[in-house]
Amino acid sequence: MSTLESIETDILILGSGGAGLFAALHASNAAPDLSITVAVKGLLGKSGCTRMVQGGYNVALSPDDSLERHFMDTIEGGKWLNRQDLAWALVVGAQERIRELENELGCFFDRNEDGTVHQKAFAGQTFDRTVHKGDLTGIEIISRLAEQVWSRGLGRLEDHRAVEMIPAKDGSGLAGVLMIDIRSGGFLFVRAKAVLLATGGGPTMYRFHTPSGEKTCDGMAMALRAGLSLRDMEMVQFHPTGLLAGTDTRMTGTVLEEGLRGHGAYLLDGNGERFMDRYDERAERATRDIVSRAMFEEMRTGKVGPLGGLYLSTAHLDEADIRRHFPGMVERCADCGFDLAGDKVEVVPTAHYMMGGVEFEADCGTALGGLFVAGEDTGGVHGANRLGGNGVANSTVFGGIAGDTMGRWVPKEGELREPDENALDAAIALCRTPFGKPPGDLEAVREKLATIMWDDVGIIRDKASLDRAEGALQDLEAELDNIGVADDDLAYNLTWHDWMNLKNLILVSRAITASAAVREDSRGAHYRSDFPAASALETSAFTRVVMENGILETSTRPVEFSRVRPGETLLGKNSG
C-alpha cells in the first residue's frame, strides 16, 4: 500500500492548458523569487483541451469592430446569464493577451496579404473576429507557452493527478492538495501558499464528446467536495459537428470546427437536403445551441445517414481552398476514410464545453482562502452559451489575471498552513475505496453513465427525464462503490484511475442534473421541452449548486446587470 510523501511550494498550479501555463508565466513575471510548480495529469505541453483547439481566438482588432460589439455578442450569445464584469474583462483582456501571444511568446497566426492578422467568421458573432493558425490554433498556443515554462525552469509534476483540496487545520483557508503520482501510485501532499485550479472541464460523461478521456471534471468534483459553490452547471455546450466515424473508434465526437460553417459549409439531412434555414435566419451560422438542437430534432425524424447522424458538406465549395484553410481536419477525416474537402462527412452533436463552474471573482479569487481558479473550471463568463472562439480567450485572459493576482498576493498574504489531518485521512480513504472489494465491470458503468446523460440530461430535457437521471445516477454511484480494484501494483494502475475518473464524472453529472431540474425554462444550451420558452430576461437568475454533508443543494440568484440591461446595448456608447 502506498505511503504519503510531502513537498512545499509557494504556488501550485493544477493544469497545464492555456489557463495554467499563462498563470505560471504571469506569476513568475510578477514575483520571480517565488517557487512555482505546475502539476498535470499527463505531460506538460501534451495534455488539456487548449491544445485541441482548432478554431481560434476571439478578439476585437479591426477598426470596424469594438470591445462593445464583442461584449454584446458575448452577452446576447449567453442569453443574458453572464456575469457582466467577467464578460467585460474577457473582451478587454483578449486584446492584451493576443499581442502578448504574438509579440512576447512567438505565436504565429495567419495573416492577410497586407500583413494584418486574419480573422475568420464564427457562428453567433456579428463580426469576423476569430484569430487562428489554420485549424491548429491550440497547438500553436500551447507549444509556445510550454517552451516558456520549460525555459524558465519552473517546477513540474507530470503524471500527477490532484484528488482533493485539503483545508488548513485552523480553518483559515487552503493548506494544499493531495495528489497521486501516477507513475508509482504513491500519495503526495503538496503544501502551497496559493493554489490555482485550472484543470479544465471536459463533459466526457456524454456518449459523444470532444475532450480526451483524461478530462473527467476532476477540478469541479474537488471544488464540490471542498464546499465551494458552482453556478450554471446545467449549461453544457454541444458542438454541432462532431465527426461520426462509428461506435468502435475514439475519433467519433472529434470536432469539425465551426470555421467550416463560417466558411460556407452546409448541414444536410440524410436525404442530402439543407434544413437549418427552417430553424434560424442565420442558418448554419446560428449559435451552437440552436444548431445542435435543430440537428437533434432532424435526427429524431429518421432522415439520417447510415451511422444515424447528419452530414456536413463542403462539396459546393472550392476544394483547394478548404484544404488550404483547414488542413488538420482534412487530414484527420482522410485518416478515417472521409473526404472532407471534396464531399460530405457524417456528423453528430457532441458534448464540448461546460459553461458552468466554480463561482469566482474578477481577480480569480474564490471563497476559499488561498484558492484561485481560471479557465473552464469557472462559471459566469459565458452565461448560457459560449461563443466559439471565446473559450481559449477565456483561459488565457483569466490565466494571466490569476498569475498576476497570485504573484501579488503570495508575498503579502500567503502562508504555508498546517493541513487538517482528518481531511487528509478521509481523502486518502476515498481514493482507496475500491481496494479489497471484488472486481467489477467499470466499462459497463461508463456505458450506463453515457446512456443516462445522453438520453435524459442531453440536448433536450424534461422533468421526467431529469427525475429518471437523478435516481439512476445515485444507483450508478452505489454500483461503482461496490466495484473493486486490485492494489498489488499501483504504478500506472489505470483501472484504479478509471474508478476515480468515474467517481468524479458521476458527481458532476449529478450537479448538472440537479441544476437542470431547478431551471424551469429554456435558455441557451439548456432546453426543457416541458418549459420551452425563456423566462423574462429582466428577471434572469442563475443556478447555484453546493454540496453539504454529501447532499447537493441547489438555489437560484438574480443576475446583476452591471453594464447593460436587456433591451439596451453598449454599441455606440463609451462603456469605460
Helix H or strand E segment including 393: helix 390-413
Q: Which of 261, 386, 510, 519 is catalytic?
A: 261
- Distance spanning both ends of the chain, measured CA to CA: 58
pLDDT at 72: 97
Does 330 fall in a domain? yes
pLDDT at 575: 52
C-alpha–C-alpha distance, residues 253 and 238, integer Å = 10
Q: What is the CATH number of the domain that holds 348?
A: 3.90.700.10
Does 191 fall in a domain? no
C-alpha–C-alpha distance, residues 385 and 372, integer Å = 23
DSSP codes joined into one string, 167-229: EBTTSSSEEEEEEEETTTTEEEEEEEEEEEE------TTSSSB-S-TT---HHHHHHHHTT--
All cell numbers assigned to 562: 452591471
pLDDT at 90: 98
pLDDT at 511: 98
All cell numbers assigned to 126: 456579428
Give me the sheet containing 130-131, strands edge to edge.
Answer: 57-58, 130-131, 119-120
pLDDT at 1: 42
DSSP codes joined into one string, 121-144: --TT-SS--EE-STT-HHHHHHHH
Backbone angles phi, psi at 550, to 5 degrees: 85, 0
pLDDT at 202: 87
Does 295 fall in a domain? yes
pLDDT at 573: 64
**DSSP-derived pairing of the beta strands 344-354 and 155-157:** unpaired
Helix H or strand E segment including 313: strand 310-313
All cell numbers assigned to 297: 430534432
Domain coverage including residue 273: 236-352
What's the sign of the alpha-carbon dihedral 27, 33, 34, 35?
positive
How many Cβ atoms are within 10 Å of 80's Cβ, its own excluded?
Answer: 21
Does 306 fall in a domain? yes
402 residue type, one letter: A
Does 32 fall in a domain? no
Q: Are 197 and 16 in contact (CB under 8 A)?
A: no
All cell numbers assigned to 288: 451552437
What's the sign of the alpha-carbon dihedral 325, 331, 334, 338?
negative
Among 267, 243, 269, 266, which Cα is nearest to 254's? 243
Does 304 fall in a domain? yes
* Per-block mean pLDDT, blocks of 10 residues, the chain (576 long): 84 95 97 97 84 84 96 96 98 96 92 92 88 87 91 95 97 97 97 97 91 90 98 95 82 82 92 94 88 93 93 92 88 88 92 96 98 97 94 96 98 96 96 95 97 96 98 98 95 97 98 98 96 95 96 97 94 63
Q: What angle do CA 332, 288, 392 make, to 5 degrees?
A: 65
pLDDT at 313: 93
DSSP codes joined into one string, 440-504: --HHHHHHHHHHHHHHHSSSSB-HHHHHHHHHHHHHHHHHHHT-BB--S--TT-HHHHHHHHHHH
Q: How many folded domains does the chain comprise?
A: 1
Does 240 fall in a domain? yes
Burial class (CB in 10 A: 0-12, 13-18, 19+), 95: middle
Is there a catalytic annotation at residue 239? yes
pLDDT at 281: 92
Is there a catalytic annotation at residue 323? no
Does 337 fall in a domain? yes
pLDDT at 54: 73
Q: Which of 239, 288, 446, 497 is catalytic?
A: 239
